[in-house]
Structure 1
Amino acid sequence: MTRADFVLDPRLRADTVFVVALTLCDILLMNDTRFAWLVMVPRRAGLVEVSDLGSDGQALLWHEVQRVASVLREIAPCDKLNIGALGNIVRQLHVHVVARCEGDAAWPGPVWGSGTATPYSVEAMAERIELLRARLLLNAG
């Protein structure tokens, strides 16, 4: 399957907002102010597991994960960075990068399915996306 065949899973589309496209992944912001939470989705159709990428794709994915994690820690200092590719509900390969702080709304449990999301205001969403884009593009090297 080609990149032209790529379609974002409707559940991810409903819960996130596009931030920026890196070489492999689209970076999406989870629309929940309770957590600094990004979702990375490789723009290749039919991927379910990280191993579906092949060696070069896996290396690029983890390079981009490190880049995104570094930026997230800069803008949202945290006690623990959670990185996971679960896919039990949304089968399309995607990687969550979540900055966690002791005492946050789900601590110490997982953020997935915890409570009710608190959406960003239009202004706060625009500010967060602008900051993320600037930092991710600045750290492009």
Structure 2
Amino acid sequence: MSEFALDARLEKDSELFTILGLCQLRLLKDSRWPWLMLVPQRPDKTEIFELAPLDQAMLTFETNLVAEALKTVTGARKINVGALGNVVSQLHVHVVARNEGDPNWPGPIWGYGSAVAYDETVKQTFLRSLMQAL
């Protein structure tokens, strides 16, 4: 049985924020949107239905927990949740706060423009608020 290993592209585009029960919770390195990603720590999984039933329930719970915390912290109009995996097949779930007037609203965030790095102070403030909301 293989061990969990994070896809190098996910590691390059995000940073570990914390570990939840099942998932790594990661912050995407793009300040244009409050953008988080959950990565179930299970090897060789590409689809939600490949997870054991208990892991499926945990992923749903953790996704909802993160989505609610993100909405609380950001006051976003809409929280987008998606598990696409067309480019990186390793199972991961994006949780993104969206507001009218944000870059590419109401269009998708994927492939739009170039990532904008976080100001370190802004990032740390956001992460502290997120941790409190979780």
Superposition TM-score, scaled by structure 1 size: 0.90
Q: 1:45 aligns with which of 25, 33, 43?
A: 43
Corresponding residue pairs, total = 134
Shift of 1:33: 1.0
Q: Deviations over 1:9-53 (max 9, x none)?
A: 111111111111000001001111110110000011101000011
Query: Which residue identity is paired with 1:131?
Result: S
Q: 2:22 aligns with which of 21, 24, 38?
A: 24
Kindly report which structure 2 residues correspond to 1:48-67, keeping only aligned pairs within 5 A, or say none.
48-67=46-65
Identity percentage over the alignment?
43
Structure 1 residue aligned with 2:112: 114
- How many angstroms apart in 2 are the aligned matches of 1:129 and 1:18? 11
**C-alpha distance in structure 1 between counterparts of 2:110 and 2:34, whole Å:** 13
Task: Work out which of the residue numbers 8, 25, 31 in structure 2 matches 1:10.
Answer: 8
With 40-49 and 113-122 compared, the bigger mean Cα shift is at 113-122
8 A Cα contact 1:19 1:133, kept in partner: no
Alignment of 1:95-114 (within 5 A): 95-114=93-112
Give the whole-Å Cα distance in 1 for the aligned partners of 2:15 and 2:133.
Answer: 17
Q: For residues 83 and 94 of structure 2, what CA distance do their matches in structure 1 show?
A: 6
Partner of 1:35: 33
Alignment partner, residue 78 of structure 2: 80
CA distance in 2, matches of 1:51, 1:106: 31
Gapped runs of 5+ residues in structure 1?
137-141
The structural deviation recorded for 1:126 is 2.4
SS at 1:105 equivalent:
coil
CA distance in 2, matches of 1:38, 1:24: 15
- Equivalent-residue separation in structure 2 for 1:112 and 1:62 (angstroms): 23
User: Which consecutive aligned stretches of 4+ in structure 1 deviate over 3 angstroms post-superposition?
Assistant: none
Q: 1-side partners of 2:129 and 2:72: how far apart?
A: 11
**TM-score normalised by length of structure 2:** 0.94
